[in-house]
Amino acid sequence: MLDQPEESRRALALHFPKIHPAVFGVSLERIRKRLVRDGRMVEAEWRNLMALSLEAELLKRPLDTKEGGFWTNRFIR
């Protein structure tokens, strides 16, 4: 998605045919801006995801968002 955004959009759109192309394009661009090349994660992003997941009732209780709990950068070099 970082190096070939248009090709990525076309490939991913095949999996989401019901989403309007304009909406899909905007959504992917927002995601693309948040991607990092090295794959490292930060606790703040997990806290944001946790808050959203709880508000959307995807989770019944919060999970520990500290590194080493259910996520880690340990294997990234």
- pTM for this prediction: 0.61
Q: DSSP for 32-70?
A: HHH--TT----HHHHHHHHHHHHHTTS-SS----STTSS
Residue 75 inside a domain? The answer is no
Residue 21 inside a domain? The answer is yes
Residue 72 inside a domain? The answer is no
Residue 57 inside a domain? The answer is no
Residue 27 inside a domain? The answer is yes
**Residues spanned by the domain of 28:** 5-34
Number of domains in the chain: 1
Residue 40 inside a domain? The answer is no
Q: Could you report the per-residue pLDDT of 22-62, keeping only the tens digit for each?
A: 999 999 999 998 888 898 999 999 999 999 999 999 999 99
Residue 74 inside a domain? The answer is no
